Amino acid sequence: MASLIPCPHCGVRPKEEFAIRGDASLVRPDPESSDETWNDYVHIRANPRGRYREHWQHVAGCRRWLVVERDTFTHEVFSVTDGSVRAWEIGR
Amino acid sequence: MPHQFQERHALEELVSMNAAAAADHLAVVARQAIVVVLAAEGQEASVAALLTADEEISVRFSAPGEWLVVTGLQTPELLQQSLAALLRETAHCVDQSHGRVLLRLSGANSRAILAKGIGIDLHPSAFVIGSSANVLCGHISINLALVDKNSFEIVVMRSFAESLLHDLCEMGRAFDLSVFFAP
Amino acid sequence: MTAYRLSAGGLVDRATSLNFTFDGQSMKGLAGDTLASALLANDQMLVGRSFKYHRPRGIVTAGASEPNALMTIGSGARTDPNTKATVAELYAGLEARSQNSWPSLKYDVGALNGLLSPFLSAGFYYKTFMWPAAFWEKVYEPIIRKAAGLGRAVLERDPEAYEKCWAHCDLLVVGSGPAGLMAALTAGRAGLRVILVDEGFRHGGSLLSETTPIDGEPAAAFVDKALSELATLPNVTLMARTTVFGWYDDNVFGALERVQKHLAVPSSKLPAERVWRIAAKRALLATGAEERPLVFGGNDRPGVMMAGALSTYANRYGVAAGKLVALFTNGSAGYRTAADLAAHGIDIAAIIDSRADSTEVAPFGTRVIRGGSIVDTKGRSRLSGITVERSGFEERIDCDAMGMSGGFSPVIHLACQRGAKPVWSETLKAFVAPDVGAGLRLAGSAAGLYALAACLKDGADKARTIASDLGLLTSAAHLPAVGEETTASFTALWYVPGARSKAFVDFQNDVHAKDLGLALREGFGHVEHAKRYTTNGMATDQGKLSNVNAVGILAGMQGVSPAELGTTTFRPFYTPVPFGALAGTSRDEHAAPKRVSPLHGWAARNKAVFIESGLWYRSSWFPRAGEKTWRESVDREVLNVRENVGLCDVSTLGKIEVFGPDAAEFLNRLYCNPFLKLPVGKARYGLMLREDGMVYDDGTTSRLSDEHFLVTTTTALAGGVMSHMEYCAQVLWPELKVRFCSVSDQWAQMAIAGPKSRLVVQALVEDDVSNAAFPFLAAKAVTLKGGLKGRLFRISFSGELAYELAVPAGYGEAVADKVMDVGRMHGICAYGLEALNVLRIEKGHVTHAELDGRVTPDDAGFGRMLSSQKADFIGKRLSTRFGLTAADRMQMVGLKPVEKDKDIRAGAHLLREGAKPSTLNDQGYVSSACYSPVLGQFIALGFLKSGRERYGEKVVVWDRLRGEETLAEICNPVFVDPANTKLNS
Ligand SMILES: [Zn+2]
């Protein structure tokens, strides 16, 4: 967690305005991918201590899905970017 | 047989008609036109430019490529039509005149009142005149705009308006906040 | 009489006398007193009984670390237990009561525990009350609860108001003593937005009891000048009576402001207390240092106080704690108190200095015993003398109060609340805060500086550093001139050997030095283990006085340095915060917002009974005169809809408009069934899956134009579906040109259902709504007679011929009234959620009672909706996995009791006939059940293994909760009109 999240669209906001979804590094597999790939995508989650990229939605603000890169131990937030930018970056 | 339908404000029986406002005052706007403008892909900048150039309307930021257009000067139908003419294919305009309630909070203590529900820094140096944002006020999402030195406009979803009104009254209790329908 | 009010001096207003009561006894204090100083002025040193041994206890401190003087203040529902008398501001009419004493403070039955103390040693809870287990609840706990425990919470409803508030600043200064005040002045003058917070009711901290002059004036005058300057700075906010209790992520601080706890009659406009969340770019802790007690025999006797507290009571409050005062010190502080007391004309019995080689000078004529120690104290409920030992010789010295000074610990709690470990300083003989980054710095005594001039300078310097951090240049601060000071120093002394009676470490939890030894012997030497084993530092004071001594003792016994042992973890809250304050206004009707349907007024006028449904208040049923039970009303409403026509508010359904050239493609990927070819002007029922293949939500989607759709969701998941769609559009498929917008609040929507609904709708709208022009699943914009624009959908949840009419929300009530008006001749009735539920169960339509997250489309009978044509959609891939296609999955069925008068209730299990009632034999469950007035019996929907193959078979409906078993027949879940003739009529 963090107390304040700098939304790239709205500025610094209290955490209450956001909802967390989880791991932002997951890429939705192709429908033809194996059972194992899909199982990993849907069910298997790492729970790392340290740097982690997560999807957070700014529910009470711009309603954009954001990628919040933060430290799960120190709670430091390193960066917050728009989720669609990230989606384009990973090549879709 | 044609039917005449009486429009009813969401806060109709909860707020009285205009009387003497206290130093800190919450005006409930009786009639307004509000349209959500969604810029089409790639048209965000041109839509923003067209909207801000129009002096008859007030534009509130909600999200990238998404604004609330607010006016007390036009009916919902006219606003919808004029926006459609202005923006044509570059945006989708969704009438929310009935889906939103417009409140105006003014007075020297307006910031102190809002700080009881809103986590963003409302200091005049941080939230300047003309600023607008979707923010959480207590449990309720609102769009907040600073329209004058000590005067804020709040746009809230209709179904939440009653609860927000109660919250604002509670927040304004220490300052004897008055609440009336705007004339 | 021993403690008394001095004839002069102090910052109390001698012209304003305040009446108050303590344990029912009337007393008088002065404006500016704390409850503790007023009690002392009334010679009330005995203020409570200790937790475990019920030993008499007196006031020890003059501040927030007080372990003993915990009072219950107030009366009736406005009663606060565990209030520290040492910080509670006196007001006229204050009612205080001592705690932990029964039947009275002076004669306490529980003091017997003192005699039993050999059995109440460390870990006694763990050892004594272990066995037999049944004894715990019935015997041990009630006894312990009666005899021990701190103050009692009142059972009445808390009448106080509370609130929460945000604040933002460049610099938060915590503590307005010398360092904090200079920091606020420096930063304030430089133009920073400053918030200066102090827990006292008067700003100034230690300056309020300081005797060293500043700029040639009393320190209090310097405080007044500084405060009046700060008050003129618009960028500075002063907050007294406010305790910063926590440091949280991103430099957000939690603070509790006691807004009107000090008023006998609070204003109804203000909260009693206010929780602040302060977002500070920088913070400066100027929280000072805590004087440490000395651990010697009999150190808990009332009258034994902190030396600094004696000074504070004399200097600030004009109160002498005794007439003949002894001091026991390991450093210079004891001498300073002696000088303070002597200046007020209080006699000093002796200064006992644990150091043999000390050089401090005592006030003229004072006896100093260097290299001496106190081994015992005398007196019943009040100190009457001490036993001093030096070089093997013992001496009894009479005194009626004494001060102890065991050195100082910087108050660093806040700095270490976010994981940073305190660091042992060999120089300071104390734990200090490590570097915790630029966001928070410490200044003055909190940073280990004990001289006044050094604290003032440090505050100014740190403020300048912070200003330059934030890009502001400041000129060198003008530092006030400070009179001559002695250098503060002390030698560590954790335990005074030779104790003749219990030497307490933690006064509040009654932990004495021997308990720590026992903990170590029994293997609990680790500081965190010892804490829990002995409960040292676990009381409401969280070991503010005791922790460092406990660490010193434990370290000493193990022959290591306190640095090696470390200290326990600091966590919020610094001092207790009432739950009410944390909840703020979020209680009762403000606990959650209430969503109001645009048809709420219409429903109320029709005498609806409302039910909470999520945040909404929905009309549940509409009782009429003569109806005695809800079932009578619901049965009537259901039958009327089946026979005539009814009107139901469905405005709470989620409504999302979807736009863009890729809108159809987007919906096609969102739903499991196809949407590309949905014609304009048509609605289609859609099922959204989760990626794991289970049904997420359902609803109808209408195509209003080629690139414009209207999606409806269930009421419950309106928010969730919107977020899900946003995730899909923004993150999964950003390449799709699609935009959407919730219009849930823009439209009032009413279901008009029943064989006569067409007559009613046609009387309202201009457009032709005949079956030919407006067939089942038509969805179009319509014009109401008179010109109002609306939307009309031919959709049906009830299974009847039905329409849903949407109009702009503000017109909702007027239109609903008109519907009732024109429908009267057709026998229209209003129907609510309960009737709607019966109607849909009769028709076999699902809600989230069925779609509970464990159900696939096929389970619910929608298997054919799963599009095999589509390349992809959310949930497609995992829908095909083995577990989701297995033949013995539970499938939705209808259930009817074999005996017509039996009922079935949701939640019951389904068993094979003759099977033993056990979840091992579970075959399924009942998801929804109701009485069907159409069938004249109870019916139910449920999920049963291979259910669709088992129509006609009988199962046992096993309601384990109510101990009922009912035989039921499995049937098709569509009880009414399975051929859909009504729907399409
Ligand atoms: Zn945002």
Same domain? For C498 and C645 the reply is no
User: Are both B121 and B75 inside the same structural domain?
Assistant: no
- Do C745 and B157 make contact, defined as CB atoms within 8 angstroms? yes
For residue A10, how far is its CA from the centre of ligand 1 (angstroms)? 4
Confirm whether B169 is domain-assigned: yes
A4-27+35-89 CATH fold? Folate-binding fold (3.30.2270)
- pLDDT, residue C535, reads 86
Residue C893 CA to residue C855 CA, distance in Å, equals 13
Residues B49 and B69 both lie in one domain: yes
Give the neighbours of chain A: at least 3 Cβ pairs within 8 Å: B, C
| Tens digit of each residue's pLDDT (9 = 90 or more) over B85-109 | 999 999 999 999 999 999 999 999 9
Of C717, C742, C767, the residue that ends a domain is: C742
Residues in B touching A61 (Cβ below 8 Å): 63, 133-136, 141
* Cis before C573? omega within 30: yes
- DSSP code for C217: B
Tokens of A11: 């500025």
pLDDT at C112: 56
Task: Please tell me whether residues C957 and C978 are part of one structural domain.
Answer: yes
Q: How many domains does the structure of chain B reveal?
A: 2
Within a domain: C117: no
Q: What is the pLDDT of residue C589?
A: 83
How far is B4 from chain A, CA to nearest CA, in Å?
38
**Which pLDDT belongs to residue C48?**
86
Same structural domain for residues C684 and C696?
A: yes
Beta strands in chain A (DSSP E): 4-7, 11-14, 19-23, 51-57, 65-71, 77-82
Q: Which of C742, C772, C795 is the last residue of a domain?
A: C742
| Conformation bin of residue C257: beta by default, left when phi > 0, alpha when psi is -120 to 50 | beta
Could you tell me if C625 and C772 lie in one domain? Answer: yes
Q: How far is C165 from chain B (nearest CA, A)?
A: 4
CB pairs under 8 A between B and C: 145
Residue C131 pLDDT exceeds 70: no
Q: Is residue C132 over pLDDT 80?
A: no
Would you state the pLDDT for residue C77?
87
The burial of C253, by beta-carbon neighbours within 10 Å (0-12 exposed, 13-18 middle, 19 or more buried), is given as buried
Cα–Cα dist C268/C344, whole Å: 43
B109 and B89 fall within a common domain:
no
- For residue C278, what is the nearest residue in chain A, using CA coordinates? A3
**Residue C561 sits in which domain range?**
492-565
Chain B touched by C596 (CB under 8 Å): yes
**How many angstroms separate the CA atoms of C289 and C409, rounded?**
5
Q: Is the per-residue pLDDT at C75 higher than 90?
A: no
Contact B116 C810 (CB under 8 A): no
The count of structural domains within chain C is 5
Separation of alpha carbons C23 and C107, rounded Å:
13
State the pLDDT confidence band at C124, using cuts at 50, 70 and 90.
low
Nearest-angstrom CA–CA distance, A12 and C422:
31
Does B5 map to a domain? Answer: no
Cβ–Cβ gap B1/C785 under 8 Å: yes
* Residue B19 belongs to a domain: no
Phi, psi (rounded to 5 degrees) for C842: -60, -35
Give the mean model confidence (pLDDT) for residues C666-686.
97
**Residue span of the structural domain in which B122 resides:** 25-30+99-181
Straight-line distance from the first to the last Cα atom of chain C, in angstroms, rounded to the nearest whole number: 99
Contact call for residues C84 and C23 (beta carbons, < 8 A): no
What is the mean pLDDT of the segment spanning C624-631? 97
Which chains form contacts with chain C, at 3 or more CB pairs under 8 Å? A, B
Is residue C153 helix, strand or coil? coil
Minimum distance, in Å, between the CA of residue B10 and any CA atom of chain C: 7
What residues of chain C lie within 8 A of the CB of A20, using their CB?
A: none
Q: Specify the pTM.
A: 0.94
Q: What share of chain B is helix, strand, coil (3-state, %, to 5)?
A: 25, 35, 40
Q: Whole-angstrom Cα distance, residue C734 to residue C741?
A: 16
Residue A83 to residue C731, Cβ atoms within 8 A: yes
* Token output for C966: 């009912």
Q: Cβ contacts of residue C579 below 8 Å, gap of 6+?
A: none
Find the range with the poorest average confidence among A21-25, C116-120, C207-211, C262-266: C116-120
Which member of B62, B120, B136 has the closest CB to residue A62?
B62
pLDDT of residue C26: 98
In a domain, C718, yes or no: yes
Does the distance separating the beta carbons of A12 and B64 come in below 8 Å?
Answer: no
- Is the pLDDT at C381 greater than 90, yes or no? no
Task: Show residues of chain B in contact with C587, CB under 8 Å.
Answer: none
pLDDT at C538: 84
The interface predicted TM-score (ipTM) is 0.97
Considering only CB atoms, B134 lies closest to which of A10, A16, A82, namely A10
Domain finish residue from B50, B67, B95 = B95
Are C877 and A3 in contact (CB < 8 Å)? no
Q: How many separate helices (H) and strands (E) can be counted in chain B?
A: 4, 10
Cα B62 to averaged position of ligand 1 atoms, centre (Å): 8
Q: What angle do CA C712, C714, C719 make, to 5 degrees?
A: 85
- Check whether C541 has a pLDDT greater than 90: no
Give per-residue burial for C953-971: e unless 16+ CB within 10 Å, then b: eebbbbbeeeeeebebbbb
Cα(C613)–Cα(C822) distance, integer angstroms: 30
Structure tokens of C220? 């209090």
Classify residue B15: in a domain, yes or no.
no
Query: Can you give the CATH number for the domain in which B127 is found?
Result: 3.30.1360.120
**Residue at C209: amino acid letter:** S
Same domain? C697 vs C713: yes
> What per-residue confidence (pLDDT) applies to C659?
97
Cα–Cα separations (whole angstroms), residue C939 to C780, C859, C897: 36, 19, 7
Instruction: Quickly state the pLDDT bin for C103 (edges 50, 70, 90).
Output: low
State the CATH number of the domain containing residue B79.
3.30.70
The enclosing domain of C659 has a CATH number of 3.30.70.1400
DSSP, collapsed to helix, strand or coil, labels residue C133 as helix
C784 chain-B contacts, CB cut-off 8 A: 3, 5
- C730 three-state secondary structure: helix
Residues 6+ apart with CB under 8 A from C767: C773, C774, C780, C782, C783, C792
SS3 category, C341: helix
Same domain, C945 and C957: yes
Which tens digits make up the pLDDT trace of C427-444?
Answer: 999 999 999 999 999 999
How do strand C739-742 and strand C683-689 relate by DSSP bridges? Answer: unpaired
- pLDDT bucket at C111, cuts 50 / 70 / 90: low
- pLDDT, mean over chain B: 95
Q: How far is CA A64 from CA A83, B42, C399, C705, in A?
A: 7, 17, 72, 26
Give the tokens for residue B64: 């990238």
What is the amino acid identity at position C404?
Answer: M
Contact B119/A11, CB-based, under 8 Å? no
Least CB–CB distance from C248: residue in A3, A19, A84? A3
The arithmetic mean of pLDDT across residues C51-61, rounded, is 88
If DSSP states are collapsed to H, E and C, what string results for C78-117?
EEEEEEECCCCECCCCEEEEECCCCECCCCEHHHHHHHCH
The confidence band for C115, taking pLDDT boundaries of 50, 70 and 90, is: low
Q: Which residues of B touch A10 (CB under 8 A)?
A: 133-135
Residue C267 lies inside a defined structural domain of this protein: yes
C828-830 vs C924-932, strand pairing mode = unpaired
* CB-CB neighbors (< 8 A) of C166 in chain A: 14
* CA end-to-end distance (rounded Å), chain A: 29
DSSP C421-477: PPEEETTTTEEE-----TTEEE-GGGGT--SHHHHHHHHHHHHHHHHHHTT---PPP
pLDDT digits (tens, 9 = 90+) for C897-954: 999 999 999 999 999 999 999 999 999 999 999 999 999 999 999 999 999 999 999 9
**C777: DSSP letter:** T
With bands split at pLDDT 50, 70 and 90, how would you rate the model's confidence at A92?
very low
**Record: contact A4-C250, CB cut-off 8 A:** yes
**pLDDT at position C949:** 96
Whether C572 is in a domain gets the answer: no
Residues C939, C40: Cα–Cα separation, whole Å:
75
**What residue spans define the domains of chain A?**
4-27+35-89
Q: Report whether pLDDT(C144) > 70.
A: no
Question: Smallest Cβ distance to C590: which of B13, B161, B170?
Answer: B170
Query: Do residues B70 and B132 share a domain?
Result: no
Question: Nearest Cα to C89, choosing from C311, C261, C317, C320?
Answer: C261
Let me know whether B126 and B165 are in one domain.
yes
Q: C19: CA distance to ligand 1 center in Å?
A: 55
Is B14 contained in some domain?
no
In this structure, are C614 and C545 located in the same domain? no
Distances (CA, A) of C247 to C76, C416, C719: 34, 9, 33
Q: Is C124 within a domain?
A: no
Among residues C304, C351, C136, C308, which one has the least CA distance to residue C208?
C308
The string of pLDDT tens digits covering residues C217-234 is: 999 999 999 999 999 999
The C-alpha atoms of residue B127 and residue B179 are separated, in whole angstroms, by 24
Task: Find the range with the poorest average confidence among C465-479, C672-686, C843-857.
Answer: C465-479
Which conformational region is residue C76 in: left (phi greater than 0), alpha (psi within -120 to 50 degrees), or beta? left
DSSP-H helix ranges across C684-727:
718-727
Q: pLDDT (tens digit, 9 = 90+) per residue, C251-299?
A: 999 999 999 999 988 999 999 999 999 999 999 999 999 999 999 999 9
Q: Is the pLDDT of residue C688 over 70?
A: yes
| Residue C488 pLDDT | 83
Cβ of B99 within 8 Å of Cβ of C746? The answer is yes
In the predicted structure, residue C138 carries a pLDDT above the cut 70: no
Beta bridge partners, B181, equal B28
Q: Is B2 on the interface with A (CB under 8 A)?
A: no
Amino acid at C405: S
Query: Average pLDDT for residues C152-164, to the nearest whole number?
Result: 89
Given the structure tokens 């219950």, which residue do they identify? C72
Question: For chain B, which residues score pLDDT lower than 50?
Answer: none
Taking only the tens place, the pLDDT of each residue in C753-795 is 999 999 999 999 999 999 999 999 999 999 999 999 999 999 9
User: What tokens were used for C655?
Assistant: 């409504």
Question: Which of C279, C730, C877 faces A4 most closely, judged by CB atoms?
Answer: C279
In sequence order, what E strands does C286-367 have?
A: 289-291, 304-306, 319-320, 324-329, 347-353
Q: Which residues sit opposite C53 in a β-bridge?
A: none
Instruction: Give the best residue of C736, C739, C782 to mutate against chain B (max B CB count within 10 A).
Output: C739
Structure tokens at A55: 């999807």
**Does an H or E element contain B87, and which?**
helix B76-87
CA distance B79 to B59: 13
| pLDDT tops 90 at residue C11 | yes
The secondary structure of chain C in percent helix, strand, coil, rounded to multiples of 5, reads 25, 30, 45
